[in-house]
Each structure stands twice: as C-alpha cells, then as structure tokens.
A and B are shown apart, each in its own frame.
Chain A
Amino acid sequence: MPAEQEDIAILIEGCKKNNRKAQEQLYSRFYDAMVKLCLRYTKNEQDALEVLNNGFLKVFKKIHLFDATKASLYTWIRTIVIHSAIDFSRSQKLRYDTTPLSENDEPPIENEAIQKIKAEALLSLIRSLPVATQLVFNLYVVEGYSHKEIAELLSISEGTSRWHLSEGRKMLKQTIQLQQVDT
C-alpha cells in the first residue's frame, strides 16, 4: 500500500474514533479543493464556509460508511460537499423557472474567452447568476453531470435543467463581452 494511502487509512481510523487531530488533518488535506468548490456554488465566502463545514460534518459523521473499494476518499468527500451545496441552495428559497426551453439551445462559451478572464472575475461571474442557474451551470459545466443526473439530483425535469444551463450561458456571454469591450 502506498504511503499516501496508508496515511489516509490512518486518518480514516482516527476519524472513526472521533479523534480531533485526525479530523483536523483530513480537513486540512482536502480543504483547498473543497473550499474552491463551495465558492462556486455560493454567493460569498461566508456561505461557502458554511457549505464546506456542513459537508465535512457529514463526512465525519458518515466516515464509517466510506468504502475505499468503491471510490477514492477525495471523490467521496467531493460528492458529499456537492450535495451539501445543493442543500444549501435549496435552503435559499431556490425557485426553478419552468419556462419551456426554446429549440435554440445556447451554445457553449468559448474556451478562449474563459482563458482571458482572471480567476476572481470568473468566479464573480458565476456568482452573479441566479441561484438555480448557478447550481445547474456548475453541475453541468464544471462537475460534468448530465442533465439527467442533474434532474434527479435537483428533482426537476431535464428540460428545466437545460433551460437553466442555456440561461446561464447567455448571461455569462453577455457579461464577458461587456468586459472585453471595456478593456
């Protein structure tokens, strides 16, 4: 067993025993990736930390259910944190627009345009989207979920998921174009 996996196994055992040191080490190890994920799903840093900590609380409570043969610890934690973000968005009186999707789906945003934007600006662009749209956009574009999976996760129809994605792309493109014009 590689050293890293051994370390993780030790951490997991410590977390199962509710050992604070082990929990802290586990938290530190995945903090960077998870907090960035949370920042994309929320409107501000404070909400992001709330989502993150709720997610880790679930991790620590359910650590005994983790099965290393099914997925890596990173994947398992990431899934829990994403679900935590979805729960948080729901608590924000999330409203899904049920407007039927037009035949013309909004095409993806060009990669070149994204690469020209600074990270902080890109994050604020995503945060400027309505909550439901932001959620669907993140799940589809960044996490790689399909509309079917999103529909199941959010308890909405696939069409609604597509509509939110399309709306999100439109809004982002407009903002990106405006910024490029300004510059």
Chain B
Amino acid sequence: MSELRENRNIWEDALNKVDTPPLPDSWKAMEGILDNEMPPPSNNRYWSWLLLLLLLLIIGVCYFRPSAGNHSQQNTSLASHSPAPVNGSGSVGDQATNSEADTADTTNSGSTQSGSHNTETSSSASTTNAGAAGSGAISSGAANSGAVSSGAANSGAAGSGTISSGAANSGAVSSGAASSGAANSGAISSGAAQTGSLSSGASTSSPAKTAANGATPNVSVNPPSAANTTTVTSRTTSDTKHNTSKTSHSPSGTRASPSMTSRSPSGIGATAATAEAHASESGNTTSGSGGTVSQGTESPDTGAKGTSNNITPTSATTNTGALTGKANGEEAPNATGTTTSNAASGTTTTNAANIPGRSALGGTTATSANKSTTTSKNTSPAKTTNTTAAKSAKKSPPSKDAAHKHGFSVGIGLNQFFALGDQSKSNLNADGTTGTLTDYLPVPEIRYYFRPRLYVQLEAQFNTPQYTKPNLVASQHVTLDSSNTVQPYTATSVYIKKLYYFNLPLSVHYSPIKHLFLGAGIEYAKMTNGVALFQQYSSSLITTTNGNNPSLTDSIHYSKLQSFKGDSVYKMLNTQEFRVLFDASFQWKGFTLGLRYNQALERFINVQISNSQVSQSRNSSLQLYLRYTLWRQKTLKPYEW
C-alpha cells in the first residue's frame, strides 16, 4: 500500500484562502460561553457600585439633615437656658485675662482691669473699651452696668472669650447660646464658653476650653458668621495695631469689651434666639440681644493686634434682638461688625464681623488682643439680662428657613416609557394582546423632605413595561435526516418582545436651581411576566430531476404571540435586578414633570443558544413622568423660593 501523500502545503495554502466569519461575532459568542463557564472573578463590581451609591445617599442625608433640624432645636434650648453660668464664665474669663493682663495693659489697660474685675467693670467700662481686655470687662460691664460694648474688634481678636463672658453676664443666655449654637464660637470665648456651657451646656465644649486656657484664644474657628447686619450703631474702628481702646468708646457706661475673642461665630448673639439659629447655619451671626456681643466672625487670629472695636454706644434699649444676618444659610460676605444690643442693660455691641481669616474691620485681630483679654467675673446682673434676652429671642420672627420643616408628602402620577437604542416599541400588553392601557397604571410615591431643596422619594411602579430588542431566548433545532449533505430540520424559536416589571425606585433629589431637581438612586426591579413570539418552522428537502444539488425550503408551522410567566422561558431569564437611575424634574406647585433614565446593573438574559450563539441583553429605559402631590404634612410648607 502506498503511503504517498498530497503536498500538504498546497492543500493548506489553498484552504487558508477561504473567507472566515467575522471575529467580533465569534468573540461575542465566546465571551458568552466564558461568562457561563468561567465567570470573571470581579463579577461583584456591580455590587460595589451599588454600595457606593448607597454610601453617597447616606452621606448626603446625614450631611443635610443636621443643618435643617438642629438649628431650630438648639435655638430654642439656648433661649431657655442661659442665665446661671454667668459666674463661671466670669471666672474663666478672669483667668484668661489675667494671664494676659500684661498685654492688656499695653493696649487697653483700662479695659483689662475692668475685665478683671467685674464689679468694677462698669466703672472701667466707662472708660473705654479697653481693647481686648475690655471684653471681659464688658461682660461684667454688661452685667453690671448693663452697658456693654464689646469692642468688636477686641472681641474679634482675642476678645471673644470675653465677649462671651460679657454675654454671659448680661445676656448670659445669649452668650451661652452662641457658644452652643455655633459650636464654634463657644470655643472662642473662653469666658463665654464656659458660660455657654453652663447655661446651655450645649455646644460649648472644647473650644471653650481652649479659650480658657488662653492657649488658643485667638483662634478663629468659625466661618464667618456673618454679618450681623443689624447693628446698632456703633462705630467701629479698627486698630490694627493695638487693640486699643482708643477707638472704643463706650458711651454710656458701656465698656468696650475688649478682648474677648471673637470667634464666636454665630456668635454670641446666639442667644438671640431661635430665629437666629438659621443664621448661624448660614454663617450669619446674630448678635445677641442681651448684651452680648456677637461677633460672628471668626477672626482668624492673625495676630493682628488691632482689632476693630465696635463700640456701640449702646443703649440698653437699642437692640435687643439680635439681628441676624441672613437667615438663609447664605453666608454673608462681609461680616461687618455688628452689634448687638443688650437688652438689659444697655448694651453692647459687637463687632463683627469678621470674615474668617480676616479680621473684621480691618483689624486683624489678634493675638495680642487675646492676650489682653480679661474677663470679668460676672455678677448677678447677668441673670436678669438673660431673661430679657430670652424673651427677645422668642419675639424675634422666625426666619424663612425655620418655617420649613422636614416631613412627608404623598403623591401619584403616570409614566410614559420610550424605547431606547435597539429596543423595539411594542403595542402589546401584558396578556400578549394589543392595547397598552394597562401600561399606564398610576404610580404612588412618597417623599420625605429634609429641607425644601432636598428629599428622598420612594415609588411603587406596577406593571411597568420594559421594551427590549427581539432577543432569542431558546431555539431547538432537530435534524430530520442526517444522511444527506443538505439536512432538513425542524426548528422552534422563542423571541422576547416585551417584558413587565414591578419596580421600586428609591432616589434622592436635590434642587440646585429654582424649580429644577436633579436626582439619582437605585431601583429594584422584579419581572412579573413577558410577551414572546413562539415560532416553529421546518425545512424540507427539494431535489431536482437529475437528483443533483438538493436544496431546502422553509415553511412556518406556527407563529404566535403569547404571555409567559413561571414557565421554562421565564426561568431562563434573570427575573430580579437592580438598576441605577438618574432623574431630572421640574416642580411647580404640586406638580412634577420629569425625565428619568435607568440602567440595569446586570443582564436579564444571558442564554447560550448554542456554542456559537449567545443571547445577552441588559435592560435600560427612559421614562417621562408626571406626578401630583396629593398630601403633605402640615409642617411642610409648599415649596417656595
């Protein structure tokens, strides 16, 4: 027998010239097989995205919630407490002052002294605001004489601490409030802090301590609180160099309060009341009514010596209420000094303003100031003032934001879905017959408002249509006669036409612009049923007369649209999935008109039809919706800007 061979190279060369099927299609099929047989290890990436989204939602909620809720609460609490602490503050202040007395001497000696001695403050107060020192005095002054002035400047710089104390005295409340409310401020004024702590106990905390130690006195913490607009008179002067009391004049008995540190962001004024609470959020400081000084600012302590002292000649009457800066959380750019008044005794002033980092009135205030600070021990008078402050606080009108509380609303709406990309629109309903009325079932929704601009929304969408491309789900190919080269066969195929889901979208919406809300969230989708085209066809062999070149002809046995659920086709699909959604809506009064896109995180179909054919697809949808708010909690004001 021969072992002769054909020339292998010739055959191979000849056969290598044939056209090959396109690579991308082949790889797609291969990838489908690999997904089934060798799923990639990083398959949980969708979960990580999901977790990330949830994390962002939580952060968003946590971030906004306190700002909305806390303020109002704090305010009220502040108002109620205040009085007692005075003494404490005083003492603190003293320490601070004492240590720094020297400096104080240089600058405002007078004030210092006054600061040092509360009782005497009044008298000393009269002298002037001793710059920094004065502040302490102030407090006392306030308390005692009722006059107060805080050299804002002073305070700005160092003084705040004192200030607070001053506040403490007179408007203890206020001061306390300030500290607490602001958290920041508390720190500032050492004296204040304490007082604050005492009285309200609130936020004072650490900052206060620092102040007390004198170590950090100047540090300005707070954001500029803004502006206290309302100042009462006062002139502000700023001495850059010396806290000096030059500027300050305390008119009537007031004293300049010198040095207290100014930091209290929200300032002392805090006391002022709930209303101000908002302000504080926004960074506006308010001045405390009761004698306190509000300095909202953070004075960075730059060490600038000078401080601006605002002195307000105050009259007790003048201001009571503090005044607030802007209520809406907006920061007031320049906080200029403000003033406050003291209710009780006369009052005070403030200064203000400082923008963080800058000393308010040009004065940068400074450390020196701080040093100089003194505090005063407060005496009883403070109590009285406190009460007045509280009253004034109550009287003050609530800010606009304050009126908005968080709460629920309930609404209902309709959705219109559109086909995207290669999805084909279908006029079939869930039963597989024509007519899409049931695609428009009303969608209930519930919202929880954290603030007018921010809410979380949960919807329940029933019988939601999901358009798809005609995905081949299954195909059965039976060869009837394998003896021939051309083999007749019978084939049964199932093509998906439309799917129906029950969706639970949870989303967070925020309004960057009036009436316009942007949202994002996640959506749980559970497939309820689907409509598919079931088709069976066969091919039969046709032979020519001479028996050569047989060919096949196709004939369809049946083709019908049918709903499927719970059957073998349904089980081949992934019936539960999570989707991410992005949403933009326009809201007007109770109506919401929006557009939403969602994209599934995983495929709903990943079926290997054969080794060379894989059917894969992922859901996505675009919907236009209209909602109407049927009910909202009474505490929830209609959305207005």
A 67-85 to B, binary, CB cutoff 8 A, 1 in contact else 0: 0000000000000000000
Q: Are A53 and B29 in contact (CB under 8 A)?
A: yes
Query: Does the CB pair A140–B482 fall under 8 Å?
Result: no
| Contact between B34 and A162, CB atoms less than 8 A apart | no
**Chain A hits for B33, CB < 8 A:** 53, 57
Within 8 A of A (CB), among B1-52: 1-2, 4-8, 10-12, 14-21, 23, 26-27, 29-31, 33-34, 37-38, 40-41
- Interface status of B416 (Cβ within 8 A of chain A): no
Asked if A154 is an interface residue, CB under 8 A from chain B, the answer is no
Given contacts A18-B38, A50-B611, contact A123 B5 (CB under 8 A): no
CB < 8 Å: which of A17, A48, A128, A141 contacts B5?
Answer: A141
B301–chain A nearest beta-carbon distance, Å: 57
Are B20's CB and A20's CB within 8 A? no
Q: Which B residue sits closest to A119, measured CB to CB?
A: B17
Provided the pairs A105-B2, A115-B14 are in contact, do residues A18 and B30 lie with their beta carbons within 8 angstroms?
Answer: no
Q: Are B17 and A53 in contact (CB under 8 A)?
A: no
Chain A residues lying within 8 Å of B29, measured Cβ to Cβ, are 49, 53
Q: Does the CB pair B17–A105 fall under 8 Å?
A: no
The answer to whether residues A111 and B15 also contact, given A36-B20, A53-B26 and a CB cut-off of 8 A, is no
Interface residues of A in 40-54 (CB under 8 A from B): 40, 43, 45-50, 52-54
A111 to B21, CA, bound (A): 27
B433 in contact (CB, < 8 A) = no
Would you call B544 an interface residue if the criterion is a C-beta within 8 Å of the partner chain's C-beta atoms? no
Question: Which residue of chain B is the closest to A88 with respect to CB atoms?
Answer: B611
Contact A20 B8, CB 8 Å, known A35-B21, A39-B18, A43-B485: no
Q: Which of B12, B14, B23, B34 contacts A20 (CB 8 A)?
A: B34
CA distance A105 to B428 in the complex (A): 66
Q: Is B73 an interface residue (CB 8 A)?
A: no
CA distance A101 to B17 in the complex (A): 34
- A27-B30, A31-B23, A52-B26 given as contacts; is B5 within 8 A of A140 (CB)? yes
B612 proximal to A (CB < 8 A): yes
Query: Across the interface, which residues of B come within 8 angstroms of A33, CB to CB?
Result: 16
Contact flag A50-B8 (CB < 8 Å), given A56-B30, A92-B482, A117-B14: no
Q: Residue A133 at the B interface, CB < 8 A?
A: no
Contact B610 A60 (CB under 8 A): no
In the assembled complex, the Cα of A103 lies from the Cα of B2 at a distance in Å of 10
- Given the complex of chains A and B, what is the CA–CA distance between A18 and B39 in angstroms? 8
**Which A residues, 1 to 47, have Cβ-Cβ distances below 8 Å to chain B?**
17-20, 23-24, 27-28, 31-33, 35-36, 39-40, 43, 45-47
Report if A61 contacts B (CB, 8 A): yes
A90-B72 Cα distance, complex, nearest whole Å: 81
* Contact call B34/A122, Cβ cutoff below 8 A: no
B12, A111: Cβ atoms closer than 8 Å: no
Least CB distance from B484 to A in Å reads 11
Identity of the chain B residue whose Cβ is nearest the Cβ of A118 in the assembled complex:
B17
Q: Please determine whether B485 and A142 come into contact, CB atoms closer than 8 angstroms.
A: no
Interface residues on chain B, size class: 35 or more
A33 and B30 CA atoms in complex are apart in Å by 16
Chain B: minimal CB distance from A119 (Å): 4
Contact of A46 among B5, B8, B612 (CB under 8 A): B612
**B20 and chain A: residue at smallest CB distance:** A35
CB of A120 within 8 A of CB of B18, answer yes
Chain A nearest Cβ from B493, distance in angstroms: 15
Contact of B4 with A107 in the complex, beta carbons under 8 Å: yes
A123-B2 Cα distance, complex, nearest whole Å: 25
Q: Is A153 an interface residue (CB 8 A)?
A: no
Q: Which of B458-506 contact A (CB under 8 A)?
A: 482, 485
The residues of A that contact B612 with a CB separation of less than 8 Å are 46-47, 49-50, 53
The one of A43, A107, A117, A142 that contacts B2, using a Cβ cutoff of 8 Å: A107
Which of chain A's residues has its CB closest to B612's CB? Answer: A49
Given contact pairs A31-B26, A49-B612, A53-B26, A108 touches B6 in the complex (Cβ within 8 A):
yes
How far apart are the CA atoms of A109 and B610 in the complex, in Å?
Answer: 37
Most chain A beta-carbon contacts within 10 A, residue among B4, B5, B41, B612: B612
**CB closest chain-B residue, reference A126:** B15
How far apart are the CA atoms of A35 and B6 in the complex, in Å? 22
Q: Are B21 and A93 in contact (CB under 8 A)?
A: no
Report chain A residues within 8 Å CB of B37: 57, 61
Bound-complex Cα distance A64 to B9 (A): 32
Contact partner of A32 (CB less than 8 A), chosen from B15, B20, B27, is B20
Q: Which residue of B lies closest to A103 (CB)?
A: B1
Instruction: Check B27 against A114 for contact (C-beta < 8 Å).
Output: no
User: Smallest distance from the beta carbon of B630 to chain A beta carbons, Å?
Assistant: 49
The answer to whether residues A142 and B40 also contact, given A23-B34, A50-B610, A50-B611 and a CB cut-off of 8 A, is no
A123 CA to B13 CA, complexed, in Å:
12
User: Which chain B residues border A20 with CB–CB below 8 Å?
Assistant: 31, 34, 40
Q: Distance (Å) between the CB of B595 and the closest chain A CB?
A: 34
Give the CA-CA distance A52 to B613 in the complex, in Å: 12
Residues B2 and A40 in contact, CB atoms below 8 Å apart: no
A61→B12 CA distance, assembly (Å):
28
Decide if B11 touches A114 in the complex (CB within 8 Å). Answer: yes
CB < 8 Å neighbour of B8 from A57, A93, A123, A142: A142
Alpha-carbon distance between A92 and B479 when the two chains are bound, in angstroms:
11
Distance, CA A129 to CA B635, complexed state (A): 85
Find the A residue at minimum CB distance from B19.
A120
A18 touches B40 (CB 8 A): yes
Contact B4 A108 (CB under 8 A): yes
Q: How far is the CA of A118 from the CA of B11 in the complex (A)?
A: 11
Which residues on A sit within 8 Å (CB–CB) of B23?
28, 31
Instruction: Give the distance in Å from the alpha carbon of A143 to the alpha carbon of B435 in the complex.
Output: 61
Interface residue from B6, B17, B27, B30 paired with A109 (Cβ < 8 Å): B6
B3 to chain A, nearest CB (A): 8
B4 touches A49 (CB 8 A): no
0/1 string, B597-626, CB within 8 A of A gives 1: 000000000000011110000000000000
CA distance A45 to B33 in the complex (A): 18
| Chain A residues positioned under 8 Å from B20 (CB to CB) | 31-32, 35-36, 39
The residue that B7 contacts in the complex, of A24, A43, A61, A111, with Cβ under 8 A, is: A111
Knowing A31-B26, A57-B37, A93-B482 touch, does A45 contact B21 (C-beta < 8 A)?
A: yes
In the complex, besides A31-B23, A52-B26, 16 extra interface pairs with C-beta distance below 8 angstroms are A24-B27, A24-B31, A27-B27, A28-B23, A36-B15, A45-B21, A49-B26, A57-B34, A61-B37, A105-B2, A107-B2, A115-B14, A119-B18, A120-B18, A128-B485, A144-B5
What are 17 sample pairs from A and B whose C-beta atoms fall under 8 A apart? Answer: A20-B40, A28-B23, A31-B20, A33-B16, A46-B610, A53-B26, A53-B30, A57-B34, A61-B38, A103-B1, A105-B2, A114-B14, A119-B14, A120-B19, A141-B6, A142-B12, A142-B15
Ranked nearest first, the 8 interchain pairs of A and B with the lowest CB-CB distance are A119-B17, A49-B612, A50-B611, A108-B6, A50-B612, A119-B18, A35-B20, A105-B1
